[in-house]
Chains A and B, each alone.
Chain A
Amino acid sequence: MGRRATPYFLILPSFLMAAFIILWPLYQIGQISLHDVNRFGMLREFSGLANFQALFADPDFLAALWRTLIWTLGVVLGTLIVSVPIALILNDDFYGRSIARVIIMLPWAVSLAMMAIVWRWALNGESGMLNSGLRGLGLIHTNIEWLAQGSTAFPMQILIGILVSIPFTTTIFLGGLSSVPDELYDAAAVEGAGRWQQFRHITLPLLRPFINIALVLNVIYVFNSFPIIWVTTQGGPANSTDILVTYLYKLGFRIGKLGEASAVSMITFGLLLVFTIIYVRLAMREEKDA
Protein backbone atom coordinates (compact mmCIF):
# COMPACT_ATOMS: atom_id res chain seq x y z
CA MET A 1 0.00 0.00 0.00
CA GLY A 2 1.41 3.37 -1.00
CA ARG A 3 1.92 6.11 1.54
CA ARG A 4 -0.61 8.31 -0.22
CA ALA A 5 -3.36 5.80 0.43
CA THR A 6 -2.66 5.60 4.17
CA PRO A 7 -4.88 8.53 5.30
CA TYR A 8 -7.77 7.29 3.16
CA PHE A 9 -7.39 3.88 4.69
CA LEU A 10 -7.47 5.47 8.16
CA ILE A 11 -10.60 7.55 7.61
CA LEU A 12 -12.48 4.80 5.78
CA PRO A 13 -14.14 3.13 8.79
CA SER A 14 -15.46 6.37 10.28
CA PHE A 15 -16.60 7.61 6.88
CA LEU A 16 -18.43 4.37 6.12
CA MET A 17 -20.17 4.27 9.51
CA ALA A 18 -21.36 7.87 9.36
CA ALA A 19 -22.28 7.68 5.69
CA PHE A 20 -24.23 4.45 6.04
CA ILE A 21 -26.61 5.72 8.71
CA ILE A 22 -27.09 9.05 6.96
CA LEU A 23 -27.02 8.52 3.20
CA TRP A 24 -29.01 5.29 3.04
CA PRO A 25 -31.87 6.60 5.24
CA LEU A 26 -31.83 9.91 3.39
CA TYR A 27 -32.20 8.11 0.07
CA GLN A 28 -35.11 6.09 1.49
CA ILE A 29 -36.89 9.17 2.80
CA GLY A 30 -36.44 10.90 -0.54
CA GLN A 31 -37.94 7.90 -2.32
CA ILE A 32 -40.91 7.55 0.03
CA SER A 33 -41.70 11.26 -0.07
CA LEU A 34 -42.12 11.10 -3.85
CA HIS A 35 -44.27 7.96 -3.91
CA ASP A 36 -47.68 6.84 -2.94
CA VAL A 37 -46.96 4.52 -0.03
CA ASN A 38 -49.06 2.28 2.18
CA ARG A 39 -48.77 2.29 5.96
CA PHE A 40 -46.34 -0.62 5.97
CA GLY A 41 -43.94 1.31 3.81
CA MET A 42 -44.63 -0.50 0.52
CA LEU A 43 -43.94 1.90 -2.32
CA ARG A 44 -46.72 2.13 -4.89
CA GLU A 45 -46.64 4.43 -7.92
CA PHE A 46 -44.56 7.57 -8.24
CA SER A 47 -46.66 10.52 -7.12
CA GLY A 48 -44.43 13.51 -7.67
CA LEU A 49 -45.00 16.21 -5.12
CA ALA A 50 -48.44 14.98 -4.03
CA ASN A 51 -47.24 14.32 -0.48
CA PHE A 52 -45.85 17.83 -0.22
CA GLN A 53 -49.07 19.28 -1.60
CA ALA A 54 -51.08 17.33 0.95
CA LEU A 55 -48.89 18.79 3.71
CA PHE A 56 -49.31 22.37 2.64
CA ALA A 57 -53.05 21.85 2.55
CA ASP A 58 -52.94 20.52 6.13
CA PRO A 59 -53.63 23.24 8.75
CA ASP A 60 -51.96 21.14 11.48
CA PHE A 61 -48.75 21.02 9.48
CA LEU A 62 -48.79 24.76 8.83
CA ALA A 63 -49.44 25.42 12.51
CA ALA A 64 -46.54 23.12 13.45
CA LEU A 65 -44.28 24.88 10.97
CA TRP A 66 -45.15 28.26 12.48
CA ARG A 67 -44.74 26.90 16.01
CA THR A 68 -41.31 25.50 15.11
CA LEU A 69 -40.26 29.03 14.26
CA ILE A 70 -41.51 30.39 17.59
CA TRP A 71 -39.97 27.46 19.47
CA THR A 72 -36.58 27.83 17.83
CA LEU A 73 -36.40 31.61 18.13
CA GLY A 74 -37.78 31.59 21.67
CA VAL A 75 -35.38 28.97 23.00
CA VAL A 76 -32.31 30.18 21.14
CA LEU A 77 -32.70 33.89 21.86
CA GLY A 78 -33.68 33.18 25.47
CA THR A 79 -30.61 30.97 25.87
CA LEU A 80 -28.20 33.49 24.37
CA ILE A 81 -29.54 36.38 26.42
CA VAL A 82 -29.21 34.43 29.66
CA SER A 83 -25.93 32.72 28.83
CA VAL A 84 -23.79 35.79 28.13
CA PRO A 85 -24.12 37.24 31.67
CA ILE A 86 -23.77 33.76 33.20
CA ALA A 87 -20.53 33.21 31.28
CA LEU A 88 -19.24 36.65 32.28
CA ILE A 89 -19.90 35.88 35.94
CA LEU A 90 -18.43 32.37 35.77
CA ASN A 91 -15.34 33.73 34.05
CA ASP A 92 -14.65 36.10 36.94
CA ASP A 93 -13.08 34.97 40.19
CA PHE A 94 -15.42 34.66 43.20
CA TYR A 95 -16.04 32.43 46.21
CA GLY A 96 -17.81 29.23 45.23
CA ARG A 97 -17.19 29.65 41.54
CA SER A 98 -16.46 25.97 40.94
CA ILE A 99 -19.70 24.99 42.71
CA ALA A 100 -21.64 27.49 40.61
CA ARG A 101 -20.06 26.07 37.47
CA VAL A 102 -20.95 22.52 38.38
CA ILE A 103 -24.58 23.47 39.17
CA ILE A 104 -25.06 25.34 35.92
CA MET A 105 -23.47 22.59 33.81
CA LEU A 106 -25.40 19.82 35.54
CA PRO A 107 -28.45 19.60 33.19
CA TRP A 108 -26.02 18.75 30.41
CA ALA A 109 -25.40 15.31 31.85
CA VAL A 110 -29.09 14.50 32.18
CA SER A 111 -31.14 12.83 29.49
CA LEU A 112 -33.57 15.28 27.93
CA ALA A 113 -36.25 12.63 28.11
CA MET A 114 -35.62 12.23 31.84
CA MET A 115 -35.62 15.99 32.39
CA ALA A 116 -38.92 16.21 30.54
CA ILE A 117 -40.43 13.41 32.62
CA VAL A 118 -39.51 15.26 35.81
CA TRP A 119 -41.00 18.49 34.49
CA ARG A 120 -44.14 16.69 33.39
CA TRP A 121 -44.63 15.64 36.99
CA ALA A 122 -43.60 19.02 38.41
CA LEU A 123 -46.16 20.72 36.14
CA ASN A 124 -48.95 18.34 37.15
CA GLY A 125 -52.09 20.36 37.85
CA GLU A 126 -53.12 18.75 41.12
CA SER A 127 -50.04 17.62 42.95
CA GLY A 128 -47.24 19.15 40.93
CA MET A 129 -44.51 20.87 42.88
CA LEU A 130 -44.49 23.97 40.70
CA ASN A 131 -48.05 24.75 41.75
CA SER A 132 -47.33 24.05 45.40
CA GLY A 133 -44.16 26.12 45.20
CA LEU A 134 -45.91 29.08 43.60
CA ARG A 135 -48.82 28.80 46.06
CA GLY A 136 -46.39 28.72 48.94
CA LEU A 137 -44.84 31.94 47.69
CA GLY A 138 -48.33 33.45 47.37
CA LEU A 139 -47.92 33.99 43.63
CA ILE A 140 -50.98 31.96 42.65
CA HIS A 141 -54.10 30.95 44.58
CA THR A 142 -55.61 28.21 42.46
CA ASN A 143 -53.73 25.38 40.80
CA ILE A 144 -52.87 25.79 37.14
CA GLU A 145 -53.22 22.83 34.77
CA TRP A 146 -49.98 23.72 33.00
CA LEU A 147 -49.99 20.97 30.40
CA ALA A 148 -53.73 20.86 29.70
CA GLN A 149 -53.68 23.56 27.04
CA GLY A 150 -51.15 24.77 24.53
CA SER A 151 -51.26 28.36 25.80
CA THR A 152 -49.56 27.38 29.08
CA ALA A 153 -47.81 24.17 27.97
CA PHE A 154 -45.86 25.68 25.07
CA PRO A 155 -44.30 28.57 27.02
CA MET A 156 -43.29 26.10 29.75
CA GLN A 157 -41.70 23.87 27.12
CA ILE A 158 -39.77 26.86 25.79
CA LEU A 159 -38.60 27.61 29.32
CA ILE A 160 -37.41 24.02 29.78
CA GLY A 161 -35.72 24.24 26.39
CA ILE A 162 -33.83 27.35 27.52
CA LEU A 163 -32.78 25.72 30.79
CA VAL A 164 -31.26 22.70 29.10
CA SER A 165 -29.52 24.75 26.41
CA ILE A 166 -27.71 27.04 28.85
CA PRO A 167 -24.82 24.66 29.79
CA PHE A 168 -23.58 24.10 26.24
CA THR A 169 -23.94 27.77 25.30
CA THR A 170 -22.23 29.01 28.45
CA THR A 171 -19.35 26.61 27.79
CA ILE A 172 -18.79 28.04 24.32
CA PHE A 173 -18.79 31.57 25.76
CA LEU A 174 -16.42 30.59 28.56
CA GLY A 175 -14.10 29.21 25.90
CA GLY A 176 -14.35 32.53 24.11
CA LEU A 177 -13.78 34.63 27.22
CA SER A 178 -10.71 32.65 28.23
CA SER A 179 -9.11 33.66 24.93
CA VAL A 180 -9.39 37.38 25.73
CA PRO A 181 -6.01 38.60 26.98
CA ASP A 182 -6.12 40.36 30.37
CA GLU A 183 -3.74 43.07 29.14
CA LEU A 184 -6.54 44.48 27.00
CA TYR A 185 -8.63 45.20 30.07
CA ASP A 186 -5.66 46.59 31.98
CA ALA A 187 -4.92 48.92 29.10
CA ALA A 188 -8.56 49.98 28.88
CA ALA A 189 -8.70 50.60 32.63
CA VAL A 190 -5.61 52.80 32.37
CA GLU A 191 -7.36 54.75 29.62
CA GLY A 192 -10.24 55.27 32.04
CA ALA A 193 -12.81 52.93 30.47
CA GLY A 194 -15.59 51.84 32.83
CA ARG A 195 -16.83 48.28 33.17
CA TRP A 196 -19.69 48.77 30.69
CA GLN A 197 -17.39 50.40 28.15
CA GLN A 198 -14.92 47.56 28.54
CA PHE A 199 -17.73 45.10 27.92
CA ARG A 200 -19.01 46.95 24.85
CA HIS A 201 -15.69 47.68 23.22
CA ILE A 202 -13.55 44.70 24.23
CA THR A 203 -15.56 41.72 25.43
CA LEU A 204 -18.49 41.83 23.03
CA PRO A 205 -16.47 42.21 19.81
CA LEU A 206 -14.09 39.42 20.85
CA LEU A 207 -17.00 37.25 21.85
CA ARG A 208 -18.87 37.84 18.58
CA PRO A 209 -17.51 34.81 16.67
CA PHE A 210 -18.43 32.59 19.61
CA ILE A 211 -21.90 34.11 19.76
CA ASN A 212 -22.33 33.40 16.05
CA ILE A 213 -21.32 29.78 16.45
CA ALA A 214 -23.52 29.34 19.53
CA LEU A 215 -26.41 30.90 17.64
CA VAL A 216 -26.17 28.62 14.62
CA LEU A 217 -25.47 25.46 16.63
CA ASN A 218 -28.36 26.16 18.97
CA VAL A 219 -30.70 26.83 16.05
CA ILE A 220 -29.76 23.42 14.66
CA TYR A 221 -30.13 21.58 17.98
CA VAL A 222 -33.34 23.29 19.10
CA PHE A 223 -35.00 23.02 15.72
CA ASN A 224 -34.39 19.25 15.97
CA SER A 225 -35.31 18.87 19.59
CA PHE A 226 -37.87 16.17 20.13
CA PRO A 227 -37.90 14.76 23.70
CA ILE A 228 -39.04 17.82 25.67
CA ILE A 229 -42.26 18.26 23.70
CA TRP A 230 -42.86 14.58 23.09
CA VAL A 231 -42.49 13.55 26.71
CA THR A 232 -44.45 16.43 28.27
CA THR A 233 -47.42 16.61 25.88
CA GLN A 234 -46.76 14.44 22.79
CA GLY A 235 -47.62 17.56 20.84
CA GLY A 236 -51.11 17.64 22.38
CA PRO A 237 -53.68 18.57 23.43
CA ALA A 238 -55.16 18.59 19.89
CA ASN A 239 -51.75 19.18 18.23
CA SER A 240 -51.50 22.54 20.02
CA THR A 241 -47.83 22.05 20.98
CA ASP A 242 -46.58 20.21 17.90
CA ILE A 243 -43.40 21.31 16.17
CA LEU A 244 -42.17 19.82 12.89
CA VAL A 245 -40.30 16.89 14.41
CA THR A 246 -43.10 15.79 16.75
CA TYR A 247 -45.62 16.17 13.94
CA LEU A 248 -43.36 14.10 11.72
CA TYR A 249 -43.17 11.34 14.32
CA LYS A 250 -46.93 11.33 14.78
CA LEU A 251 -47.59 11.18 11.04
CA GLY A 252 -45.11 8.37 10.55
CA PHE A 253 -45.52 6.14 13.57
CA ARG A 254 -49.00 6.91 14.89
CA ILE A 255 -51.15 7.67 11.88
CA GLY A 256 -49.04 5.70 9.41
CA LYS A 257 -48.95 8.38 6.72
CA LEU A 258 -45.38 7.53 5.77
CA GLY A 259 -45.42 9.52 2.55
CA GLU A 260 -46.35 12.77 4.24
CA ALA A 261 -44.05 12.07 7.18
CA SER A 262 -41.15 11.61 4.77
CA ALA A 263 -42.09 14.85 3.08
CA VAL A 264 -41.86 16.60 6.48
CA SER A 265 -38.43 14.96 6.90
CA MET A 266 -37.29 16.30 3.56
CA ILE A 267 -38.50 19.82 4.39
CA THR A 268 -36.80 19.65 7.79
CA PHE A 269 -33.64 18.34 6.17
CA GLY A 270 -33.69 21.17 3.63
CA LEU A 271 -33.98 23.79 6.36
CA LEU A 272 -31.22 22.12 8.38
CA LEU A 273 -28.96 22.05 5.38
CA VAL A 274 -29.28 25.82 5.09
CA PHE A 275 -28.37 26.28 8.78
CA THR A 276 -25.52 23.80 8.40
CA ILE A 277 -24.03 25.56 5.41
CA ILE A 278 -24.06 28.76 7.48
CA TYR A 279 -22.33 26.89 10.30
CA VAL A 280 -19.69 25.28 8.11
CA ARG A 281 -18.93 28.67 6.58
CA LEU A 282 -18.61 30.23 10.04
CA ALA A 283 -16.56 27.38 11.48
CA MET A 284 -14.20 27.31 8.53
CA ARG A 285 -13.80 31.08 8.64
CA GLU A 286 -12.95 30.96 12.36
CA GLU A 287 -10.34 28.40 11.53
CA LYS A 288 -8.68 30.58 8.93
CA ASP A 289 -8.63 33.52 11.32
CA ALA A 290 -7.19 31.46 14.15
Chain B
Amino acid sequence: MKKLKRSILYWILLSPIVVLTLFPFAVMFITAIKPATEMLSPTWWPDQPAFANFITMFGETNFGQALLNSLIVAVSTTVITILIAIPGGYALSRYRFGARSAFRQFLLISQMLSPIVLVIGLFRLIVWLGLIDNLAGLVFVYIGFNVAFAVWMLQSYFSTIPKDLEEAAWIEGASPWRTLVSVFLPLAVPAMVVTAIFTFIASWNEFILALTMLRSANGYTLPLQIFNLVSRYTVEWNFVMAAAFAATIPVAIVFAWLQRYLMRGLALGAVK
Protein backbone atom coordinates (compact mmCIF):
# COMPACT_ATOMS: atom_id res chain seq x y z
CA MET B 1 0.00 0.00 0.00
CA LYS B 2 1.27 3.47 -0.85
CA LYS B 3 2.19 5.61 2.12
CA LEU B 4 -0.31 8.34 1.28
CA LYS B 5 -3.21 5.92 0.90
CA ARG B 6 -2.21 4.20 4.09
CA SER B 7 -1.96 7.52 5.95
CA ILE B 8 -5.47 8.51 4.91
CA LEU B 9 -6.88 5.14 5.93
CA TYR B 10 -5.11 5.25 9.29
CA TRP B 11 -6.28 8.75 10.09
CA ILE B 12 -9.87 7.74 9.26
CA LEU B 13 -9.56 4.71 11.54
CA LEU B 14 -8.06 6.83 14.31
CA SER B 15 -10.52 9.68 13.96
CA PRO B 16 -13.11 8.49 16.54
CA ILE B 17 -10.47 8.15 19.24
CA VAL B 18 -8.80 11.40 18.22
CA VAL B 19 -12.12 13.25 18.46
CA LEU B 20 -12.99 11.69 21.83
CA THR B 21 -9.53 12.48 23.19
CA LEU B 22 -9.53 16.08 22.04
CA PHE B 23 -13.16 16.68 23.06
CA PRO B 24 -12.41 17.43 26.75
CA PHE B 25 -9.62 19.82 25.78
CA ALA B 26 -11.98 21.62 23.40
CA VAL B 27 -14.64 21.79 26.11
CA MET B 28 -12.08 23.20 28.53
CA PHE B 29 -10.84 25.86 26.17
CA ILE B 30 -14.18 26.94 24.70
CA THR B 31 -15.87 27.16 28.09
CA ALA B 32 -12.90 29.05 29.47
CA ILE B 33 -13.34 31.84 26.92
CA LYS B 34 -17.14 32.08 27.18
CA PRO B 35 -18.40 35.27 28.80
CA ALA B 36 -20.67 34.74 31.82
CA THR B 37 -23.72 35.87 29.82
CA GLU B 38 -23.29 33.04 27.33
CA MET B 39 -22.53 30.34 29.90
CA LEU B 40 -25.92 28.70 29.80
CA SER B 41 -26.46 28.94 26.07
CA PRO B 42 -25.44 25.61 24.61
CA THR B 43 -23.54 27.09 21.65
CA TRP B 44 -20.13 25.81 20.69
CA TRP B 45 -18.18 28.93 19.90
CA PRO B 46 -18.94 32.04 21.98
CA ASP B 47 -20.14 35.14 20.10
CA GLN B 48 -17.81 37.31 22.11
CA PRO B 49 -14.75 35.32 23.23
CA ALA B 50 -13.72 36.59 26.67
CA PHE B 51 -10.01 35.86 26.88
CA ALA B 52 -9.96 38.12 29.92
CA ASN B 53 -11.55 35.22 31.80
CA PHE B 54 -8.07 33.82 32.27
CA ILE B 55 -7.01 36.93 34.14
CA THR B 56 -10.21 37.28 36.18
CA MET B 57 -9.99 33.60 37.02
CA PHE B 58 -6.77 34.16 38.93
CA GLY B 59 -8.56 36.27 41.53
CA GLU B 60 -11.86 34.40 41.49
CA THR B 61 -10.37 30.98 42.07
CA ASN B 62 -7.38 31.69 44.30
CA PHE B 63 -5.35 30.12 41.49
CA GLY B 64 -2.00 31.64 42.43
CA GLN B 65 -1.99 30.18 45.94
CA ALA B 66 -3.04 26.72 44.70
CA LEU B 67 -0.41 26.85 41.94
CA LEU B 68 2.25 27.68 44.50
CA ASN B 69 1.10 24.84 46.78
CA SER B 70 1.12 22.39 43.88
CA LEU B 71 4.60 23.49 42.86
CA ILE B 72 5.93 23.15 46.41
CA VAL B 73 4.41 19.69 46.78
CA ALA B 74 5.39 18.36 43.36
CA VAL B 75 8.95 19.74 43.36
CA SER B 76 9.78 18.59 46.89
CA THR B 77 8.24 15.17 46.25
CA THR B 78 10.20 14.77 43.02
CA VAL B 79 13.57 15.89 44.39
CA ILE B 80 13.40 13.83 47.57
CA THR B 81 12.00 10.76 45.80
CA ILE B 82 14.82 10.78 43.25
CA LEU B 83 17.48 11.29 45.92
CA ILE B 84 16.14 8.33 47.89
CA ALA B 85 15.60 6.15 44.81
CA ILE B 86 19.04 6.56 43.20
CA PRO B 87 20.94 4.46 45.78
CA GLY B 88 18.11 1.91 45.75
CA GLY B 89 18.15 1.59 41.98
CA TYR B 90 21.95 1.48 41.97
CA ALA B 91 22.00 -1.35 44.51
CA LEU B 92 19.49 -3.37 42.52
CA SER B 93 21.34 -3.00 39.24
CA ARG B 94 24.95 -3.38 40.46
CA TYR B 95 24.89 -5.73 43.45
CA ARG B 96 23.76 -9.32 43.86
CA PHE B 97 22.61 -9.67 47.45
CA GLY B 98 20.40 -12.00 49.46
CA ALA B 99 17.32 -9.85 49.81
CA ARG B 100 17.47 -8.57 46.22
CA SER B 101 14.57 -10.53 44.85
CA ALA B 102 12.47 -10.04 48.00
CA PHE B 103 13.04 -6.29 47.74
CA ARG B 104 12.04 -6.29 44.07
CA GLN B 105 8.82 -8.13 44.88
CA PHE B 106 8.12 -5.71 47.70
CA LEU B 107 8.55 -2.82 45.24
CA LEU B 108 6.18 -4.39 42.74
CA ILE B 109 3.55 -5.05 45.37
CA SER B 110 3.77 -1.58 46.89
CA GLN B 111 3.40 -0.09 43.42
CA MET B 112 0.08 -1.87 43.09
CA LEU B 113 -1.47 -0.36 46.18
CA SER B 114 -3.39 2.76 45.40
CA PRO B 115 -3.65 5.28 48.24
CA ILE B 116 -7.44 4.91 48.24
CA VAL B 117 -7.21 1.36 49.61
CA LEU B 118 -5.19 2.55 52.58
CA VAL B 119 -6.82 5.93 52.95
CA ILE B 120 -8.20 5.41 56.47
CA GLY B 121 -4.88 4.13 57.77
CA LEU B 122 -3.00 6.90 55.99
CA PHE B 123 -5.31 9.46 57.53
CA ARG B 124 -4.54 8.05 60.98
CA LEU B 125 -0.83 8.04 60.20
CA ILE B 126 -0.90 11.70 59.28
CA VAL B 127 -3.00 12.59 62.31
CA TRP B 128 -0.56 10.66 64.50
CA LEU B 129 2.35 12.60 62.98
CA GLY B 130 0.44 15.83 63.57
CA LEU B 131 0.68 16.70 59.87
CA ILE B 132 -2.96 16.99 58.92
CA ASP B 133 -3.65 20.02 56.71
CA ASN B 134 0.09 20.39 56.21
CA LEU B 135 1.79 20.23 52.82
CA ALA B 136 4.78 18.48 54.40
CA GLY B 137 2.54 15.59 55.41
CA LEU B 138 1.26 15.29 51.86
CA VAL B 139 4.83 15.34 50.50
CA PHE B 140 5.80 12.62 52.97
CA VAL B 141 3.02 10.30 51.80
CA TYR B 142 3.60 11.11 48.12
CA ILE B 143 7.27 10.16 48.45
CA GLY B 144 6.28 6.83 49.95
CA PHE B 145 3.92 6.10 47.08
CA ASN B 146 6.33 7.21 44.34
CA VAL B 147 9.55 5.75 45.59
CA ALA B 148 8.83 2.16 44.52
CA PHE B 149 8.12 3.24 40.95
CA ALA B 150 11.21 5.46 40.90
CA VAL B 151 13.54 2.71 42.15
CA TRP B 152 12.07 0.31 39.61
CA MET B 153 12.49 2.73 36.70
CA LEU B 154 16.02 3.70 37.71
CA GLN B 155 17.26 0.15 38.16
CA SER B 156 16.07 -0.87 34.70
CA TYR B 157 17.91 2.11 33.18
CA PHE B 158 20.99 1.69 35.31
CA SER B 159 21.26 -1.91 34.14
CA THR B 160 21.63 -0.66 30.55
CA ILE B 161 24.72 1.40 31.48
CA PRO B 162 27.75 -0.83 30.80
CA LYS B 163 29.74 -1.75 33.86
CA ASP B 164 33.01 -1.61 31.88
CA LEU B 165 33.14 2.15 32.18
CA GLU B 166 33.12 2.04 35.95
CA GLU B 167 35.65 -0.79 35.98
CA ALA B 168 37.91 1.19 33.69
CA ALA B 169 37.78 4.09 36.12
CA TRP B 170 38.66 1.82 39.04
CA ILE B 171 41.66 0.49 37.16
CA GLU B 172 42.76 4.07 36.55
CA GLY B 173 42.77 4.38 40.32
CA ALA B 174 39.55 6.30 40.95
CA SER B 175 37.80 5.62 44.24
CA PRO B 176 34.32 4.03 44.11
CA TRP B 177 32.76 7.31 45.21
CA ARG B 178 34.70 9.30 42.58
CA THR B 179 33.67 6.77 39.93
CA LEU B 180 30.05 7.08 40.94
CA VAL B 181 30.03 10.86 40.80
CA SER B 182 32.09 11.46 37.68
CA VAL B 183 31.39 8.35 35.58
CA PHE B 184 28.14 6.69 36.54
CA LEU B 185 25.82 9.52 37.53
CA PRO B 186 26.44 11.67 34.43
CA LEU B 187 25.51 8.67 32.26
CA ALA B 188 22.38 8.16 34.33
CA VAL B 189 21.06 11.69 33.89
CA PRO B 190 18.46 10.76 31.22
CA ALA B 191 17.07 8.07 33.52
CA MET B 192 16.78 10.51 36.36
CA VAL B 193 15.06 13.09 34.18
CA VAL B 194 12.45 10.61 32.92
CA THR B 195 11.78 9.28 36.40
CA ALA B 196 11.59 12.82 37.75
CA ILE B 197 9.02 13.83 35.14
CA PHE B 198 6.79 10.87 35.92
CA THR B 199 7.05 11.53 39.64
CA PHE B 200 6.34 15.21 39.12
CA ILE B 201 3.24 14.53 37.01
CA ALA B 202 1.96 11.92 39.45
CA SER B 203 2.22 14.23 42.44
CA TRP B 204 1.03 17.28 40.49
CA ASN B 205 -2.14 15.41 39.52
CA GLU B 206 -2.83 13.48 42.73
CA PHE B 207 -6.33 13.92 44.09
CA ILE B 208 -7.45 11.42 46.75
CA LEU B 209 -4.77 12.08 49.36
CA ALA B 210 -5.04 15.82 48.87
CA LEU B 211 -8.81 15.55 49.27
CA THR B 212 -8.39 13.61 52.49
CA MET B 213 -5.53 15.47 54.13
CA LEU B 214 -5.88 19.11 53.21
CA ARG B 215 -8.49 20.99 55.18
CA SER B 216 -8.09 24.73 54.71
CA ALA B 217 -8.57 26.51 51.42
CA ASN B 218 -5.16 28.22 51.51
CA GLY B 219 -3.40 24.89 51.55
CA TYR B 220 -5.21 23.32 48.60
CA THR B 221 -3.29 21.98 45.64
CA LEU B 222 -4.62 22.70 42.15
CA PRO B 223 -6.77 19.60 41.56
CA LEU B 224 -8.38 20.02 44.96
CA GLN B 225 -8.88 23.76 44.59
CA ILE B 226 -10.59 23.26 41.23
CA PHE B 227 -12.68 20.37 42.54
CA ASN B 228 -13.86 22.56 45.38
CA LEU B 229 -14.99 25.25 42.95
CA VAL B 230 -17.22 22.60 41.36
CA SER B 231 -18.65 21.53 44.71
CA ARG B 232 -20.06 24.96 45.44
CA TYR B 233 -23.74 25.70 45.15
CA THR B 234 -23.36 27.94 42.10
CA VAL B 235 -20.55 26.96 39.80
CA GLU B 236 -18.87 29.52 37.55
CA TRP B 237 -17.89 27.04 34.90
CA ASN B 238 -15.96 29.50 32.75
CA PHE B 239 -13.54 30.17 35.62
CA VAL B 240 -13.40 26.50 36.55
CA MET B 241 -12.49 25.56 32.99
CA ALA B 242 -9.99 28.41 32.66
CA ALA B 243 -8.31 27.17 35.84
CA ALA B 244 -8.40 23.55 34.66
CA PHE B 245 -6.90 24.62 31.33
CA ALA B 246 -4.15 26.65 32.98
CA ALA B 247 -3.32 23.79 35.36
CA THR B 248 -3.30 21.16 32.61
CA ILE B 249 -1.73 22.67 29.53
CA PRO B 250 1.82 23.30 30.81
CA VAL B 251 2.12 19.70 32.01
CA ALA B 252 0.56 18.40 28.79
CA ILE B 253 3.03 20.40 26.68
CA VAL B 254 6.06 19.13 28.58
CA PHE B 255 4.66 15.64 28.31
CA ALA B 256 4.00 15.90 24.58
CA TRP B 257 7.47 17.33 24.01
CA LEU B 258 9.27 14.59 25.92
CA GLN B 259 6.74 11.90 25.08
CA ARG B 260 9.01 9.74 22.98
CA TYR B 261 11.69 9.51 25.68
CA LEU B 262 9.10 8.99 28.39
CA MET B 263 7.47 6.16 26.46
CA ARG B 264 10.72 4.39 25.83
CA GLY B 265 11.59 4.66 29.50
CA LEU B 266 8.23 3.41 30.65
CA ALA B 267 8.11 0.49 28.25
CA LEU B 268 11.50 -0.49 29.62
CA GLY B 269 10.43 0.00 33.21
CA ALA B 270 6.98 -1.54 33.08
CA VAL B 271 7.74 -4.73 31.25
CA LYS B 272 11.40 -5.46 31.77
Contacts and interface: CB of A to CB of B under 8 A. Distances in A.
Interface of A: 4, 6-11, 13-15, 17-22, 24-29, 32, 41, 82, 85-86, 89, 92-96, 98, 100-115, 117-122, 126-129, 131-133, 135-136, 163, 166, 171-172, 174-176, 178, 209-210, 213, 217, 220-221, 224-227, 231, 245, 248-249, 252-253, 258, 261-262, 265, 268-269, 272-273, 275-276, 279-280, 283-284, 286-287, 290
Contact of A276 (B10, B22, B109, B226): B109
B32 to A, nearest CB: 10
A105 B119 contact: no
B244 A117 contact: yes
A132 B251 contact: no
Contacts of B17: 82, 86, 104, 166
21 contacts: A7-B95, A8-B99, A28-B120, A89-B14, A94-B6, A96-B11, A104-B18, A105-B255, A107-B21, A109-B248, A111-B206, A117-B240, A129-B27, A171-B267, A175-B263, A176-B271, A226-B116, A231-B230, A245-B114, A249-B116, A265-B119
Interface stretch (B50-58, B143-151, B160-168): B143-151
Nearest to A286: B271
Interface string B81-116: 000110110111001010110010111111011101
Contacts of B125: 21, 24-25, 28
Contacts of B26: 129
B28 interface: yes
Interface residues of B, number: 99
A213 B269 CA distance: 12
A127 B39 contact: yes
B271 A224 contact: no
B138 to A, nearest CB: 11
Contacts of A127: 39-42
A7 B99 CA distance: 9
Contacts of B204: 111
A110 B107 CA distance: 25
A253 B147 CA distance: 27
